[in-house]
Amino acid sequence: MKVLVIGSGGREHALVWKLRQSRRVSKVYCAPGNGGIADDAECLPANVKSVDSLLALANQVRPDLTVIGPELPLMLGVVDEFTRLGWRTFGPTKAAAQLESSKSFAKGFLQRHHIPTAPYAICNSMDDIQEALPHFHMPLVVKADGLAAGKGVVICKTKEEVASIAAEMLSGKMVGEAGSRVVLEECLQGDELSFLVVSDGERVAPLVAAQDHKRIGDGDTGPNTGGMGAYSTKTIVDEQMSQWLVQHVARPVVAGMKAEGAEYKGILYCGLMMTARGPMVLEFNCRFGDPETQPILMRLESDLVEALEASIDGRVSDGDFRWSPDASVCVVMSSGGYPGTFEVGKKIMGLEEAGKIEGVKVFHAGTSKRDGAYYTAGGRVLGVTARAADLRTVVDRVYSAVSKIGFEGINYRKDIAARALKKS
């Protein structure tokens, strides 16, 4: 079969890499892809912000299965349009994708369905902010309602800071239209967890859990990013907790969406904070996580195509995934300045040497290829990922690969999975 992957990041490289391993797949296309994906798939130009551009692509490629990587095409209703025209497509409809595309919708939904989440207020103006503020303790989290590529969340220490960040968001200066409505949310403490399930609209099957590292700096310092690294181990969530999360979070979400007339199919990514009061939902994403997908798919031993088709065909079961007990870690290498402004076009050295290390796969995110050489082309450039039987070995492997790679302005976190390592 022919598979089309939409997107251009490290997540999409991991999806392409895994889909290619399926015996059922004869050809993988990726649109628009990146420098590294071009080595594993046929990359085609596409504008992921335009449903028409993607439909034209489908007419050209005639895929048997399409997998959408990023949230934007989902929010624009690509799955609705592709499905209407007969293209088998993995992912939620526009209505279902609201769980990610509107934080105020997600918070209201969580409240309506009694799913644990932090107390919050929805504010459309500075008057609303002033009215809500006395009901909260500091620190307080200020969130843009719409999609902001991980950059629409600020944790504020004082009420003055809340007012100033909220004003910037509401005025459109900070994240544009996405900030025209703001959610204030109690700040939660604990370990974060990315718990992904695949849903067919009714049943869910969990993937192995992962932990992302959202802040730019070591020790979780500095601003939030799209994610600077992630790891997955068999102990990150035990069987009992996994069942609890399916029963108290994932299944109620899928049942609630169905009851509200927006059947949820595809990946449901539950971003959780494991607090002293129990797990609480921070956010939903309606797609695979980036960079979580890189370490998660490194541990997948069964055929990804089977699991994606089970979602489309309404026959998801726990048996859809078979996982390796190994640990896996992904370290993101980014351009200097990211998540702020950064330069691109820097030559990347050492990729071949890094890729030769046992158990290592270098996934490309923001790269381009010219005359056989790779150049930086985005904020997050590479996701160096490794797998091994134990976490110590995998961390050693991944950082040994990282040490081989260089480009001007390179930045990466030195402490991915460090806390888990200390605990183990």
In the complex, minimum distance from the CB of residue 159 to ligand AMP, in angstroms, rounded to a whole number:
17
Angle between helices 10-20 and 304-313 (to 10 degrees): 100
Token pair, residue 46, equals 């596409």
Question: Closer CB to ligand GLY, residue 103 or residue 369?
Answer: 103
Burial class (CB in 10 A: 0-12, 13-18, 19+), 23: exposed
Q: Which does 282 bind (CB under 5 to 8 A by kind): ligand GLY, ligand AMP, none?
A: ligand AMP
In the complex, minimum distance from the CB of residue 241 to ligand GLY, in angstroms, rounded to a whole number:
20
Question: Closer CB to ligand AMP, residue 6 or residue 118?
Answer: 118
In the complex, minimum distance from the CB of residue 188 to ligand AMP, in angstroms, rounded to a whole number:
4
Among 122, 187, 255, 349, indicate the residue that binds ligand AMP (CB under 6 A): 187
Among 95, 188, 241, 344, indicate the residue that binds ligand AMP (CB under 6 A): 188
The label of the residue with tokens 């526009």 reads 94
Among 35, 63, 271, 289, indicate the residue that binds ligand AMP (CB under 6 A): 271
Question: Closer CB to ligand AMP, residue 26 or residue 189?
Answer: 189
Per rule CB under 6 A, count of chain residues that contact ligand AMP: 15
Spatial separation of the C-alpha atoms in residues 159 and 293, rounded to whole Å = 37
In the complex, minimum distance from the CB of residue 214 to ligand GLY, in angstroms, rounded to a whole number:
7
* Residues between 91 and 120 that touch ligand AMP (CB under 6 A): 118
Number of H helices, E strands in the chain: 15, 23
In the complex, minimum distance from the CB of residue 189 to ligand AMP, in angstroms, rounded to a whole number:
7
Reduced to 3 states (helix: H, G, I; strand: E, B; else coil), residue 135 is helix
Spatial separation of the C-alpha atoms in residues 396 and 277, rounded to whole Å = 35
Question: Closer CB to ligand AMP, residue 54 or residue 148?
Answer: 148
* Residues between 304 and 323 that touch ligand AMP (CB under 6 A): none
Question: Closer CB to ligand AMP, residue 156 or residue 304?
Answer: 156
Question: Closer CB to ligand AMP, residue 153 or residue 208?
Answer: 153
380 scored as a contact of ligand AMP (CB under 6 A): no
In the complex, minimum distance from the CB of residue 76 to ligand GLY, in angstroms, rounded to a whole number:
18
Q: Which does 187 bind (CB under 5 to 8 A by kind): ligand GLY, ligand AMP, none?
A: ligand AMP
Spatial separation of the C-alpha atoms in residues 99 and 59, rounded to whole Å = 29
**8 A C-beta contact, residue 416 and residue 230:** yes
282 scored as a contact of ligand AMP (CB under 6 A): yes
In the complex, minimum distance from the CB of residue 229 to ligand GLY, in angstroms, rounded to a whole number:
10
Question: Closer CB to ligand AMP, residue 117 or residue 376?
Answer: 117
C-beta neighbour count of 40 within 10 angstroms: 17
Summarize as ranges the residues that interact with ligand GLY (CB under 6 A).
150, 212, 226-227, 285, 289-290, 292
Question: Closer CB to ligand GLY, residue 14 or residue 57?
Answer: 14
Token pair, residue 411, equals 């930045």
Beta 2-7 vs 65-68: how paired, if at all? parallel
In the complex, minimum distance from the CB of residue 263 to ligand AMP, in angstroms, rounded to a whole number:
24
Spatial separation of the C-alpha atoms in residues 382 and 359, rounded to whole Å = 16
By C-alpha distance, which of 381, 398, 392 is closest to 332? 381
Phi-psi region of 396 (alpha: psi -120 to 50; beta: other; left: phi over 0): alpha
Q: Which residues contact 234 (CB under 8 A, 6 or more apart)?
A: 208, 323, 325, 327
Spatial separation of the C-alpha atoms in residues 424 and 421, rounded to whole Å = 5
* Residues between 210 and 229 that touch ligand AMP (CB under 6 A): 214, 224
Q: Which does 416 bind (CB under 5 to 8 A by kind): ligand AMP, ligand GLY, none?
A: none
**8 A C-beta contact, residue 55 and residue 81:** yes
Question: Closer CB to ligand GLY, residue 113 or residue 215?
Answer: 215
SS3 content of the chain, % helix, strand, coil (to 5): 35, 30, 40
Question: Of the ranges 27-35, 179-187, 201-209, 335-343, which one interacts with ligand AMP (CB under 6 A)?
Answer: 179-187
Which residue's CB atom is positioned nearest to ligand AMP? 283
Question: Closer CB to ligand GLY, residue 206 or residue 289?
Answer: 289
DSSP string, 7-57: E-SHHHHHHHHHHHT-TT-SEEEEEE--TTGGGTSEE----TT-HHHHHHH
Among 283, 290, 309, 320, indicate the residue that binds ligand AMP (CB under 6 A): 283
Binding site for ligand AMP (CB under 6 A): 118, 141, 143, 153, 155, 185-188, 192, 214, 224, 271, 282-283
